[in-house]
Amino acid sequence: MPLAAEVPAKCRPVGVKSTVAALTSAAYDRGVLPDDLSRLVDLVTTPNHLDQASLAAIAKNLYPVGRVSDQVVLRIVGCLGHGQLKPSLAVQALLLRWIVLAYHLLSSHSMLSRSYSVLFNLLDTAALRSVVSPLSMGKFADGSQAAIVPPPGFNNAAEACSPFQDTGHV
């Protein structure tokens, strides 16, 4: 039997809203185990037939109960950007925000350091800029410093971000 995400909405015998609501409620109450977190990130980052509200609800309720693996971070970074096979920019922004919030639960921060150039190149996308900026600058709202080391040539991300701030266009 195929998963509901693999079947177009009009062809499903039952709706998925109640299932997504139960899933997000359980994730909020008990958290998400590492294997389930990996599967949920796969669900949100790969093309499927779920509506944007369901994908956003799942992305907002990824509460890990343990460390977050590098593979999960890599899948999220890999789904970022423009393209038909990429999640919507709203879902990408939620996933980036999740990385910022779950930063202290990452098993290794080296994956973010290695994907610095990908994150830096997303600064020209207005929908993602406010979420990417803390990651690319290595600072968070609570004042903590990220262990992201920019590659050579990216010495001051704050100065590089300034042309994109409040311009109203890309």
Pick from 83, 85, 76, 164: nearest CA to 120: 164
pLDDT in tens, the chain (170 residues): 457 776 777 777 777 898 999 999 999 999 999 999 999 999 999 998 889 999 999 999 999 999 999 999 999 999 988 889 999 999 999 998 999 889 889 998 888 888 877 877 777 777 677 776 666 555 554 555 554 545 555 554 444 444 444 444 44
Asked whether residue 71 is domain-assigned, the answer is yes
Instruction: Read off the pTM.
Output: 0.74
Asked whether residue 169 is domain-assigned, the answer is no
Asked whether residue 104 is domain-assigned, the answer is yes
> How many folded domains does the chain comprise?
1
Q: Please answer whether residues 63 and 27 qualify as being in contact, where contact means their C-beta atoms are separated by less than 8 angstroms.
A: yes
Structural domain harbouring 67: 4-164
